[in-house]
Structure 1
Amino acid sequence: MKIRILLTFFIIVWIGLLVRVFHLSVQSNDYYENLSENNSIKTELSAPVRGEILDRTSEPIAINELGFKIALAPHLTKGKDTTLLDKEIAYLLSMIPTLDAKKIAKTYKQHDSYYNHTFIDVVDFIPHETVIPLYSLMNLRDTIKISPSPKRLYPYGAVASHVIGYVAKANQKEIDADPSLQLLGHVGKNGIEKYYNRYLQGVAGERRIKVNAHNVEIEEIGRSATQENHNLVLNIDMRLQNFITEAFGNRVGTIIVMDTHGAIYAAGSYPEYDLNTFVSGISSKEWNRLMNSVDAPFTNKIINGLYPPGSTIKTGMGLIYVTSGMLHENSTVKCSGSMKLGNRAFRCWKGTGHGTTEISKAITQSCDDYFYKGALQVGIERMSTGLIRMGLGKKTGIDLPNEFIGTVPSRAWKREKYNKPWYQGETLNTSIGQGDFLVTPMQMAQYTALMATGKLPIPHVAKSIGNNPYTPNALDVLTPSEKSKLPIIQRAMRGVCNDPGGTARGFVSTRFPIAGKTGTAQTTGIAQGTKQRQSEHSMDYFSRSHAWFTTYGPAENPQFIVTVLVEHGGHGGEATGGMVSSIYNKLDDLGYIQK
């Protein structure tokens, strides 16, 4: 019996050993073969050159400055002994005295370890003209590796900074999301550089080599080329972009110049900032200055600035009114300058009133009272639903990152946000673009294009991506009834700029008729007891209204949209009419206006 038990035990042990041997020699063969290959085959990646950004005339907007980076061999330090490292740093400084020895030493020590067998980058960029005379001599040293390292350069500095964006060193979060950034080092942080980053950065090349136990290359066994020079052509014309920047001067706000199909020919958010300061790292002093500025230079006001639309909203609002079934184009109100609702007076901007007013006069002369009284008949639900359909309260779809959606107030919106009921007074405020109503300048430009053509275009900065033109289709959002009544709104918008009594009549001086709508969006409420409204220019700067003027031209053959917002600029037409006129005349000079 004991012999049987002992025999069984030995049989079980031998079976277990045989199974283990089989597993190690046969089933694990692939695993150990791959492990062995990984130990003997090394992959070297080569960074692609980032694609350039060009304007519509092929003028370079973002390019790559040719230069080199310097790397040192690993294991130049042994514990606290830095003799070898110090020797190499001294040599580098003898060649290029402008290098920072302390920074090189710190960078090297951060990345050197017993397990690291690759060269360590210690200088990110040295200009081409500095390195070329020294290249052959420095390259003879086994401990120094010099390799190409282009640096992003923005020839126009601060011009169009919020549209173009910039590249800077990738942080750990970005590297985790895209491991290729470990090699590339830099990534698009804002604007077009960020939105089209994957395309612009290209694809790394790969070289597979066999090495021995000492990490010495034996042979090359495979290679794939980099996919690079993915250039991007924009709709932007830098001649026009420079012009609008000069025209805007030291004001705070934004300008958008877009064709009626949505192509952005120029767009600026002001104040701007020099993009080149971010490529190599901005100083803390400059960063704090920009961050603490009350003018918010880092905010892309084109798509992230949220402002009450003021009277610019009256065009679409009027279209909703005359197609509501409650009002029609001949419906009139008697504007006396003020309307009572409960214990509150809702004023028209014109204290003496506009008298008998229908939709065309209400838009041309911007009568608030018409829209107050119309809003009580049409109601907030029809108003908000129609405006959202016209593109407000949602993203325009522009090819820029982190676009804001704004706010079109409604009962449901207020209940969800504040858990409070809706009041009729809020309906009146919404009808003239005040209260909680907020839009971005880009939304307003898109909305104006809808008024001009009856179609809602998708704004786009890119003209072509590689060999593929980028032309997103416009959206058909108007009802048949709205399309039939749209000419009424268009005639009124022409009247704003050309008719006696038009709110922009005295401020427009274009070579051809244009159409538009001014807006004076209040930032400070007016006390009920105030009899005589204070003039905008006599107010404290931050109490003044925002000045809007959104236009299309030529009036009879709409081709371009020009939307201007000046923060705390006061009256819309007065603050912006000259700028808008000069922009249309510049478009004509550049040959873009087809008469």
Structure 2
Amino acid sequence: MRMRLVVAFILFFFIFLLSRVYYLSIKSNVYYEELANQNAIKTKFLAPIRGQIFDRNGTLLAVNDLGFNISIKPYLSIKKANKDILDRELQRLVELFPDLNVSVLARNYQRNDSYYNQNFIPVVDFITYDLMIPHFSELSFNENIRIEPTVKRKYPFGNLASHIIGYVGKANLEDVSENEIAKLTNYTGKSGIERYYNDILQGQKGVRVYKVNAFNKEVEQLSYTQANSQDIRLSLDIRLQSFIAELFDGNVGSVIVMDSNNGEILAAGSFPEYDINAFVTGISVKEWSELSNNLDHPFTNKLVNGLYPPGSVVKMGVGLALFNSHSINPRTSFYCDGNFEFGGRKFRCWNRNGHGYVDLRHAIKESCDIYFYEGGLSVGIDLISQTLGRVGFGAKTGVDLPNEFVGVVPSREWKIQRFKQPWYQGETLNTAIGQGNFLVTPMQIAKYTANIAKGAEVIPHFLKHTDKNETNRDIFTLFEKSQLPYIRDAMQAVANEQGGTAYRYLHNLPVKVAAKTGTAQVIGFSQADKNRVDETQLEYYTRSHAWLTSYAPYNAPAYVVTVLIEHGGRTISAGQATAQIYRKMAELGYFK
């Protein structure tokens, strides 16, 4: 019996041994073969060079400066014996490039040095081509240092169109986790066009597959796919953009010049602007503090993130709402004596002496408030808010800029949701003249003006040759289209007939303009801002804003010019700015 047990055990042991040999030699062969291939074949992903940005005439607005980055061999800070080597190499780099800081270089290196990192560690992101070339040979032969070509984003025009072009900055952890290209380049679009069209501009990664030997030396390239990127062309005309920036020097606000047929934006500015080059490699604490504490808020893109009451520029839209009631027509008149009493309160017209009997044409031409008080109260807020929402307010314009605000079109539903309160008729009076809780962006006003000029929806955009040219919707009813000629005629009277609120500035231009002026009350001034101003500044910052929106030529609308000057301007008025913009456009050949 014992002998049988011993024989069985020996047989079992040999069977187990044979099965193990079989597994190791046959079954696991594929697994180890794969491991061997991984050890011998390496894959490197290649970062694309970011696409450039051009204006409509081919002028470069965002380019890539050629230069080099510098990396140092790993493990030098971990092993005590190697620390002298690291210190020597860092000190040598500072001697060659005096603008570098040895402490910063050491911190960059030590942050990424570990036993698990076998790659050279980047310590300098960018050295210009001209600075590197005299020392290129010396550094190339240093086995502890690796230099590789790279590029850095540059904006040739500095602060010009800064809120539109935007900038690229160093990718953060969220950027890297969501975007594999940002992980390769370490940069991504942070604002403006750079952010909105980041997927196009950043391009596609390349791939290089190569074989290495036991000493990790490359012996053969197996395949290569080139990285690629795509340039984009904007509709901006940098000549007109430069002119407007000079015009607005020292003033605060925004300007939009747009093709009223296809929505291409020729020029646009949010003022004051700031130099976007400072943000590519990182802005200093001092620079950041100066910009963030500026009472004119240069960081705010006022084109799509500035919210203002529209004032009287909304009166064309309210006029359409009055016509939609069918109880008011272009010949309906209301009497203006300068005051309108309602609910025990006096609502005043800007003209304290009154305008007499006015119909819609004269109410728009002379910006009579009493007409819109009477008409607004007659038709009610429901019809007014519904019409205003349809012609472009309370919704995104669709412009190709990130984080566009929608503003507020007051209505019964909005007030209940926002404040849990009922609507009062006095609020209808404020809404009818573009005040109260009514808030819009300059981009919305430009789009609304283009919609009226064209008689259909116009979607503003900065990218030239875009499908948005073909997506205009029919937002006006047939009845409203029949009424638009009355609205347009009233707008041309604003600019071309004596008594028109913009006649002083616009009647003698090279092209006939249709326009509307407006005054927007300052709705709020934060306590933080109040604490930073003296009495003389406070008087300025509480003054009303000035609007002027327009299109030209009147008989064949081609371009919209919308101007908002905060607090009425320091050196120029909205009327003066608009007139000079049209003259410059004529000089550049836009009205031929």
TM-score, length-normalised on structure 2? 0.91
Cα deviation 1:180-212 (Å, max 9, x = unaligned)? 212101111110111111111111211112234
Q: SS of the residue aligned with 1:180?
A: helix
Q: Is the 8 A contact 1:515 1:551 kept in 2?
A: yes
Shift of 1:94: 4.2
| 1:105 matched residue in structure 2 | 106
Distance between the aligned counterparts of 1:232 and 1:427, measured in 2?
A: 46
| 1:474 matched residue in structure 2 | 472
Cα deviation 1:102-124 (Å, max 9, x = unaligned)? 22111111111111111111111
Q: Which deviates the most, 38-47 or 64-73?
A: 38-47
Q: Which deviates the most, 13-22 or 449-458?
A: 13-22
Q: What amino acid sits opposite 1:115 in the alignment?
A: Y
Cα deviation 1:499-528 (Å, max 9, x = unaligned)? 121111112242222011000112269xxx
Distance between the aligned counterparts of 2:425 and 2:306, measured in 1?
A: 28
Tell me whether 1:41 sits opposite 2:41 in the alignment.
yes
Cα deviation 1:524-580 (Å, max 9, x = unaligned)? 69xxxxxxxxxxx99921221110000001111111100000111179xx8211110
- Alpha-carbon distance change, 24 to 505 in structure 1, aligned in 2, over 3 angstroms: farther
Superposition map of 1:342-361 within 5 A: 342-361=343-362
Cα deviation 1:54-87 (Å, max 9, x = unaligned)? 1111111111111111111212233344112122
Tell me whether 1:190 sits opposite 2:203 in the alignment.
no
Distance between the aligned counterparts of 1:539 and 1:87, measured in 2?
A: 57
Distance between the aligned counterparts of 1:392 and 1:491, measured in 2?
A: 22
Distance between the aligned counterparts of 2:423 and 2:31, measured in 1?
A: 68
Shift of 1:222: 1.8
- Alpha-carbon distance change, 46 to 370 in structure 1, aligned in 2, over 3 angstroms: same
Distance between the aligned counterparts of 2:120 and 2:151, measured in 1?
A: 19
Q: Which deviates the most, 320-329 or 64-73?
A: 320-329
Tell me whether 1:72 sits opposite 2:61 in the alignment.
no
Q: Is the 8 A contact 2:54 2:62 kept in 1?
A: yes
Distance between the aligned counterparts of 1:12 and 1:394, measured in 2?
A: 80
Cα deviation 1:150-173 (Å, max 9, x = unaligned)? 111111110110001011111111
Shift of 1:23: 8.2
Distance between the aligned counterparts of 2:19 and 2:385, measured in 1?
A: 74
Shift of 1:13: 11
| 1:202 matched residue in structure 2 | 203
Distance between the aligned counterparts of 1:2 and 1:243, measured in 2?
A: 107
Distance between the aligned counterparts of 2:487 and 2:475, measured in 1?
A: 16
- Alpha-carbon distance change, 554 to 39 in structure 1, aligned in 2, over 3 angstroms: same
Q: Is the 8 A contact 1:463 1:470 kept in 2?
A: no
How many corresponding residue pairs?
577
| 1:231 matched residue in structure 2 | 231
Distance between the aligned counterparts of 1:340 and 1:321, measured in 2?
A: 20
Tell me whether 1:498 sits opposite 2:503 in the alignment.
no
| 1:532 matched residue in structure 2 | none
5+ long unaligned stretches in structure 2: 525-535
| 1:257 matched residue in structure 2 | 257
Superposition map of 1:67-146 within 5 A: 67-81=67-81, 82-146=83-147
| 2:409 matched residue in structure 1 | 408
Distance between the aligned counterparts of 1:373 and 1:20, measured in 2?
A: 97
Q: Is the 8 A contact 1:70 1:124 kept in 2?
A: yes
Distance between the aligned counterparts of 2:28 and 2:418, measured in 1?
A: 60
Q: What amino acid sits opposite 2:584 in the alignment?
A: K
Superposition map of 1:410-449 within 5 A: 410-449=411-450
Distance between the aligned counterparts of 2:24 and 2:448, measured in 1?
A: 70
Q: What amino acid sits opposite 1:331 in the alignment?
A: T
| 1:520 matched residue in structure 2 | 519
Q: Which deviates the most, 6-15 or 202-211?
A: 6-15
Q: Is the 8 A contact 1:463 1:469 kept in 2?
A: no
- Alpha-carbon distance change, 218 to 348 in structure 1, aligned in 2, over 3 angstroms: same
Cα deviation 1:134-164 (Å, max 9, x = unaligned)? 2223212222211111111111110110001
RMSD: 2.8
Q: Is the 8 A contact 1:463 1:471 kept in 2?
A: no
Distance between the aligned counterparts of 2:43 and 2:140, measured in 1?
A: 22
Distance between the aligned counterparts of 1:140 and 1:469, measured in 2?
A: 52
Instruction: Indicate the percent of aligned positions where both proteins have the same amino acid.
Output: 48
Q: SS of the residue aligned with 1:105?
A: helix
- Alpha-carbon distance change, 181 to 31 in structure 1, aligned in 2, over 3 angstroms: farther
Q: Is the 8 A contact 1:320 1:383 kept in 2?
A: yes
| 1:309 matched residue in structure 2 | 310
Q: What amino acid sits opposite 2:475 in the alignment?
A: V
Q: Is the 8 A contact 1:409 1:437 kept in 2?
A: yes
Shift of 1:97: 3.7
Q: SS of the residue aligned with 1:76?
A: coil
Q: Is the 8 A contact 1:458 1:472 kept in 2?
A: no
Q: What amino acid sits opposite 1:515 in the alignment?
A: A
Cα deviation 1:296-317 (Å, max 9, x = unaligned)? 1000000100000000000111
- Alpha-carbon distance change, 577 to 138 in structure 1, aligned in 2, over 3 angstroms: same
TM-score, length-normalised on structure 1? 0.91
Distance between the aligned counterparts of 2:177 and 2:258, measured in 1?
A: 37
